[in-house]
Amino acid sequence: MLTLLHEQLDAARDRLEPAVYDYYAAGSGEETTLGEAEAAWRAYRLRPRVLHDVSAVDIGTELLGARIESPFLVAPMAFHALAHPDAECATVAGAGAAGSLAVVSTRASRLLEDIAAAATGPWWFQAYLMRDRGLTEALVGRAAQAGAGAVVLTVDTPYVGRKGRVSGVRIAVPDDEFLVNLAQHLLPGSIGRESAEQDPSMTPDVIGRLAEASGLPVLVKGVLRGDEAVRCLDAGAAGVIVSNHGGRQLDRAVPSALALPEVVAAVDGRAPVLVDGGVRTGTDALVALALGASAVLVGRPLLWALASGGATGVTGALDALGADLRHVLALAGAARLGDLDPSLVTTSRLPG
- Catalytic center residues: 245
**Maximum Cα–Cα distance across the chain:** 68
Q: How would you class 336 by CB atoms within 10 Å of its CB: exposed for 0-12, middle for 13-18, buried for 19 or more?
A: middle
φ/ψ region of 64 (left if φ > 0, alpha if ψ in -120 to 50, else beta) reads: left
Q: What is the dihedral of CA 330, 336, 341, 343, to 10 degrees?
A: -20
- The b/e string for 297-335 (b: 16+ C-beta within 10 A; e otherwise) is bbbbbbbbbbbbbbbebbbbbbbbbbebbbebbbbbbbb
For 31, other C-beta atoms within 10 Å of its C-beta total: 17
DSSP category for residue 80: G
Task: DSSP for 148-168, please give it.
Answer: -S-EEEE-S-SSPPPBGGGTT
Q: How would you class 80 by CB atoms within 10 Å of its CB: exposed for 0-12, middle for 13-18, buried for 19 or more?
A: buried
Contact between 251 and 302 (Cβ < 8 Å): no
Contact between 140 and 216 (Cβ < 8 Å): yes
Q: Which amino acid is at 121?
A: G
